[in-house]
């Protein structure tokens, strides 16, 4: 498992005090299981965000409450189990809020407006005097992810996109002190199409005939970003895109 091999080394290399990972589809390409959650957390990840496939494994809706460090999109219907944001502590005692949002453009999921959901959450965090706030916007459209980043600019420490699997090269600290990247990329095989078997995907796309999209588990690349920030102000001072091959 790439996360188990690479996360501890990356935390040491960059001196990371806190680690957030999107665990979407860690269960063989379809949602999450308790086993996946335990493996990711045991690897050194502090908080796991998710997205539109969080309930693909049916039993997980009954298990997510056992893991306060696992978030589902905050703008999902309130009747759904789990929570969409939380306040956590790094080893040095710094309070860190993590918000999980899902987009609505080209995304097949029932969800509320992510902009208004973010406003409600930020009002709560303001009352709790939490300054260091990190946002995962799980969305398809780059325009929606950029819009969320600009909408939250100056109000949160960092906004990053997930869901489209391909790491983007637009990382920057926005003028008001919010780190942004449109998509962190995936943890998956370089010799694949979004983590799936190349021949099967091409066959389906070229012929229209169904094929099982097997997950490829060789030549795995872990993608992400490291954000530097001032914990007293909650403002980002740097962001660096990273991509590392897992040991074979």
In the set 53, 138, 163, 165, the catalytic residue is 53
The yes-or-no answer on residue 53 being catalytic is yes
Pairs from 180-184 (Cβ < 8 Å, separation ≥ 24)? 180/146, 180/149, 180/153, 180/239, 181/225, 181/239, 181/241, 182/142, 182/145, 182/146, 182/149, 183/142, 183/145, 184/22, 184/160, 184/223, 184/224, 184/225
State whether residue 44 is helix, strand or coil. Answer: coil
Evaluate whether 212 touches 188 at the Cβ level (below 8 Å): no
Which helix (H) or strand (E) segment holds residue 200: the answer is helix 198-207
**Residue 39, φ and ψ in degrees, nearest 5:** -65, -40
Residues known to be catalytic: 53
């Amino acid at each position: 498992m790439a996360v188990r091999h690479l996360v501890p080394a990356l935390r040491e290399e960059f001196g990371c005090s806190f680690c957030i990972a999107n665990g979407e589809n860690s269960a063989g390409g379809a949602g999450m299981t308790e086993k996946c959650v335990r493996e990711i957390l045991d690897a050194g990840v502090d908080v796991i965000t998710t997205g539109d496939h969080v309930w693909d494994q049916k039993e997980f809706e009954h298990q997510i409450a056992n893991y306060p460090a696992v978030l589902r999109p905050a703008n999902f219907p309130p009747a759904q189990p789990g929570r969409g944001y939380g306040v956590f502590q790094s080893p040095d005692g710094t309070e860190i809020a993590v918000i999980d949002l899902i987009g609505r453009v080209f995304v097949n999921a029932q969800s509320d407006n992510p902009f208004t959901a973010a406003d409600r959450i930020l009002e709560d965090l303001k009352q709790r005097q939490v300054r260091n706030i990190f946002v995962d916007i799980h969305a398809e459209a780059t325009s929606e992810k950029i819009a969320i980043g600009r909408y939250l600019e100056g109000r949160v420490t960092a906004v990053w996109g997930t869901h489209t699997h391909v790491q983007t090269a637009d990382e920057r600290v926005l003028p008001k002190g919010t780190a942004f990247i449109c998509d962190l990329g995936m943890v998956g095989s370089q010799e694949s199409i979004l983590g799936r078997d190349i021949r099967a995907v091409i066959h389906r796309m070229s012929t229209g005939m169904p094929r099982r999209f097997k997950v490829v588990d060789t030549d795995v690349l872990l993608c992400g970003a490291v954000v530097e920030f001032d914990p007293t102000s909650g403002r980002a001072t740097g962001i660096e895109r990273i991509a590392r091959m897992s040991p074979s």
